[in-house]
Chain A
Amino acid sequence: MKVSFTLNGEAITADVEPRTSLADLVRGEHRCTSVHLGCEHGVCGACTVLIDGKIARSCITLAVALDGTAVTTLEGFEGDALMDRLREAFRAHHGLQCGYCTPGMLITAHDLIRRKGALSEAALRQGLAGNICRCTGYAGIVAAVAAAMDEHGDTARAAAIAAE
C-alpha cells in the first residue's frame, strides 16, 4: 500500500504492508537509526518522533495512516538551537550512558520545554515519565533538561535543579 509524507523535510513515498509501523519504515528503509525500539507497545518512549510537530510513539503508529503528514526523527533536528543545547547539556550532566533511551529523551524534553518553558523538578520528572532509561537513574537526565530549560525561562530555578 502506497503512503507519502515528508521525513525530516524530504518528501518520501513508500510501498508498505499496512502492518508496518512508522518505526520499522523509517529505521529499516530510510536509515533513521535514532529511532530505537524498546518495547514495541508504547510504554518505553525510545521510539518517540514528531508527527506534524507533535510527539508520538512510532512503534504504535501505522505508517499507512500517515499520508500527507510531516514526520521528524532526531536526525531532523540538525541545527535546532534548543536541541543543540539539550545535546550539550546531556553530555555535560551525564544524561546518558548506553544511549538507547537518548533520542526519545531528547525529543520528549524538546517538546516539554517548547510547550511549558520552565518547569519545577516534579513537573519535569512527570513530563519525562513516559521514557524509560535502564542506565542513568534519571538524575543526570533531569539535571540536563533543567539546564537546557535555562535560556527558555526561569533561570534561577533551572540552575537550582541542575545543581541538585
Chain B
Amino acid sequence: MKPMPFDYARATDVPDALAALADAEAGVRVMAGGQSLVPMLNLRLATFPRVVDISKVAELRERGETADAVTLGACVTHGEIEDGEAPEPAAGLMRHVASGIAYRAVRNRGTIGGSASLADASADWVTTLLALGARFVIRGPDGEREVAAPDMFLAPYFTAMTDQELLVRIVVPKTSRDATWGYYKVTRRSGEYGLTIGAVILDPARDRASVVLGAASRTPLACTATAAALRGAPRWTDALEAALRVAVAEDLARGDRPFEPHEAIMVETTILRAATQALGVS
C-alpha cells in the first residue's frame, strides 16, 4: 500500500461530481481511469484528501455522431476508441493513435477525458485533439462552456478548466472521407510517452491542412507554416521537401523554447515522416 490515506466516493452523475468539487478547500480530485492519478498517488507525487470516481457516470460514457462531428464522453477509454467502439471522425487517425497509447492493460482503463484534463505535454490525445481542432465541453458551478483546443492546453498539466469544473465531453469535427493523415511518435520503447510526436492531417476536399508537433515543448506547437506548405500539395517532391524544411524551421522558431541542434533534427524528421505518411509515401 503506497499512497497516503484518502477517502473514496463514486459519483452517480455529473451534478453529483460537481457538488463534490464545489468546495475548493476540500481538496477533492476526480478519478477517471486512474491510470495517471493512481501512479501519482502511489509515488506520492500527489496527495488528495478525497477521490471521487467518475468512471461509471453514464453521461460521461456516451458517444454520438452528427453529420459533421463526433462526440466522445470524457470517460470513453483509449481501448474503446482503438476497438472502434466509438465513431471515428478522421479516417482512422483516432483509432490509430489510441492503439499506440501505453499498453493494452492501461488503455482498457485510461480515458480520453482524463488524458485531456491532465494535459501532459507529451500525451498523444493532447497533440491529436489540437490537430483535429477539437472542442472541449466543460461544466462547472456556472453551467456549461465550450473551449476550443488551442485555448484548452495552456501549459504542462495546466488547462483552461478550474478545479471546480469537469470535462464532460469532447467534440471532434469530422474530416472529409478522403482526408489522409500521418502520425509519427518517437519513443525508446513502444507504449511510452513520445519524445516527439508529429501529427499531420491533409484534407484537400476542404482545402485544409493541419500540422502539430507534440511532446517537444511546453505545449503542442501548431506548425502553421508547415501546414501552409503542405496545403494542396498533390504529392511528395524534392521541391516540397525543401519548402517543408524551411517551413519547419520557421515554426520551430515560434516555439516556446529554443531547440538544441540535435533536437531540431529529431523534430524536423518527426514532422517530415508524418507528412510523407499523410501523402502516401512510405
Contact = CB atoms under 8 A, between A and B. Distances in A.
Are A and B a genuine interacting pair, yes or no? yes
B51 A18 contact: yes
B38 A60 contact: yes
B109 A56 contact: yes
Interface in B97-143: 102-106, 108-109
A64 B109 contact: no
Interface string B31-59: 10011001101110000000101010000
Given A19-B5, A21-B1, A129-B190, A60 B42 contact: yes
Given A65-B53, A65-B55, A129-B191, A57 B1 contact: no
A124 interface: no
B100 to A, nearest CB: 9
Contacts of A55: 104-105, 108
Nearest to B103: A130
Assign chain A's interface to a size class: 20 to 34
A60 B39 contact: yes
Interface of B: 1-8, 10, 31, 34-35, 38-39, 41-43, 51, 53, 55, 79, 102-106, 108-109, 189-191
Interface of A: 1, 17-21, 24, 40-42, 45, 48, 51, 54-57, 59-62, 64-65, 67, 108, 111-112, 126-127, 129-131
17 contacts: A18-B51, A19-B4, A42-B35, A42-B38, A54-B79, A55-B105, A56-B105, A56-B108, A57-B109, A59-B42, A60-B42, A62-B8, A111-B104, A129-B191, A130-B102, A130-B191, A131-B103
